[in-house]
Amino acid sequence: MIRTPEPSDGLIGGLDDAIRAALDRLWGVLPDARLVGGAVRDLLAGRPVSDIDLATPEPPERVLELLSASGIKVVATGIAHGTVTAVIARRPFEITTLREDTETDGRHARVAWTADWRADAARRDFTINSLFLDRNGAVHDFFGGAADLRDGVVRFVGEAGRRIEEDGLRILRFFRFQARYGRGAPDREATEAIASRLYCLDRLSAERVWSELSRLLGGAAPGKTLCLMQDTGVLPALLPGAHLDPALRLDRDGAPADALLRLAALAGGNGGWAGAVASRLKLSRDEARRLAALVETEPAEALGTDEDSLRRRLADAPAAIVLGRSWLSGESDTVRARIASIVPPVFPLAGRDAVQAGLKPGPEVGRLLAETRLWWWSGGCRADRPACLGRLLTLAGEAGLLPAA
């Protein structure tokens, strides 16, 4: 259950100096507190640690009192759930009182405070997230999480089905952690429990689903995990009609870790599907627009890769969209490198230029500018401002719109 590292293990030493100094202050006030969850997991795995969370047997009101008395800024961020946030050198440290569930509704739990570390560990989702690390560097492991982490096994704490029924979001969390930490065949009990409890997904808000999906899709090479989601019925339940092959090709091609790019790949070129998914997942306006823009791509053979064609693409869409479409259409790294090397061309005229040239403001000016832009675009977006202005005036003259001399 408890492993005390040799000094060479240096788990706490793996944190930067500022975090260690902050922890020393916190441990000076709460000596029995322990690091918990992701921080311990990632320290053991030798991965970068982002958030530092602690657990303590002290009730939250007492934690507030002790920290405030010691001069540490503290905010009651989630005191109903036992959580307060200490702020040291502008960095937040969440400190949560040990809890055990007294009642669950499939998404939220009613909890009671406890001083039992094992009981708190037992209510957590996966063994690799149920680890504690005390101030002396001892790892407290009640359910074999350290071994599972070493072996690449993502396993629910206790009975998988029960954990899922307590909180359906754990289905999606399983796949996210499987993609990041899993190696080899996934835990059979977990996948069978998930496949037989797809109804638990219906309890989840769209925002929480997208929060988990975006973290999965934004990870490195999630294709294998997406296949597992397909096999268990989770992907069809969440994203009916998703196309796996384009998403798997992104993995093979080494595409960047970009959640919306992979979601666009799952659309398989279907703009209607992308729009429906944006609504279903309640994407932000910017996310929905970017998804729609990415899906508006053509087969690679129709795009053209000569210099003028690449310039035209960059004139019509932001460089990030053009590069994303290039990944989706299966173009080569060489083409993408060329796209990245081109300064995106910008049409050099606006309505005020036409007015200053003597044209009357109105719909005809917009039409002439559009025709001039098409001429500029057709020529590879190379004509400069004087040339474009000359073309505009020629078109205006042909239309009889130039003022009398």
Pairwise CA distance, residues 334 & 340, whole Å: 10
- In this structure, are 49 and 141 located in the same domain? yes
Same domain for 76 and 15?
yes
Residue at token pair 């919306």: 260
Domain boundary among 120, 151, 182: 151
Residue 246 lies in a domain: no
Same domain for 79 and 37: yes
> What CATH number is associated with residue 103?
3.30.460.10
304/372 same-domain check: no
pLDDT for the residue numbered 101: 74
Domain boundary residue among 128, 151, 174?
151
Residues 30 and 113 in one domain: yes
Asked if residue 312 is part of any domain, the answer here is: yes
Letter for the amino acid at 142?
F
Please give the C-alpha separations between residue 300 and each of 303, 327, 331, in angstroms, as whole numbers.
5, 10, 6
pLDDT of residue 31: 97
pLDDT at 111: 77
| Structural domain contains residue 170 | no
Is the domain of 310 the same as that of 383? no
> Are 355 and 314 in the same domain?
no
Are 87 and 99 in contact by the 8 Å Cβ rule? The answer is no
What count of other Cβ atoms lies within 10 Å of the Cβ of residue 306? 10
Instruction: For residue 115, count other CB atoms closer than 10 A to its CB.
Output: 13
Residue 42 structure tokens: 């990632």
* Burial of 197: CB neighbours in 10 Å, binned 0-12, 13-18, 19+: middle
Measure the CA–CA gap between 211 and 216, rounded to whole angstroms. Answer: 9
User: For residue 109, what pLDDT is reported?
Assistant: 60
Taking CA 174 as the corner, what is the angle to CA 152 and CA 140, rounded to the nearest 5 degrees? 60
**Domain presence at residue 174:** no
Residue 109 lies in a domain: yes
> How many structural domains are present in the chain?
3
Same domain (yes/no): 327, 390: no
Q: What is the mean pLDDT of each run of 10 residues along the chain (405 residues)?
A: 50 90 96 96 93 95 96 92 94 95 61 92 96 95 97 97 95 97 96 98 96 96 96 98 96 96 96 96 97 87 89 96 96 96 97 91 92 97 96 93 72
Q: Report if residue 39 sits inside a domain.
A: yes
Nearest-Å Rg of the Cα atoms of the chain is 28
List, in order, residues 6 or more apart from 311 with CB less than 8 Å away.
Answer: 342, 345, 380, 381, 382
> And the tokens for 215?
């973290």
Residue 243 lies in a domain: no
CA 279 to chain centre: 18
The C-alpha atoms of residue 198 and residue 237 are separated, in whole angstroms, by 8
Q: Could you tell me if residue 90 is inside a domain?
A: yes
- Do 366 and 310 share a structural domain? no
pLDDT of residue 5: 45
Q: Among 151, 185, 209, where does a domain finish?
A: 151
**Whether residue 377 sits in one domain with residue 308:** no
64 and 118 together in one domain: yes
- What is the three-state SS of 164-209? HHHECHHHHHHHHHHHHHCCCCCCHHHHHHHHCCHHHHHHCCHHHH
Tell me the whole-structure pTM to 2 decimals.
Answer: 0.89
Determine the Cα–Cα distance for residues 19 and 47; give it in Å rounded to an integer.
16
Q: What is the pLDDT of residue 104?
A: 63
Q: Which domain holds residue 315?
A: 297-341
Q: Are residues 49 and 137 in the same domain?
A: yes
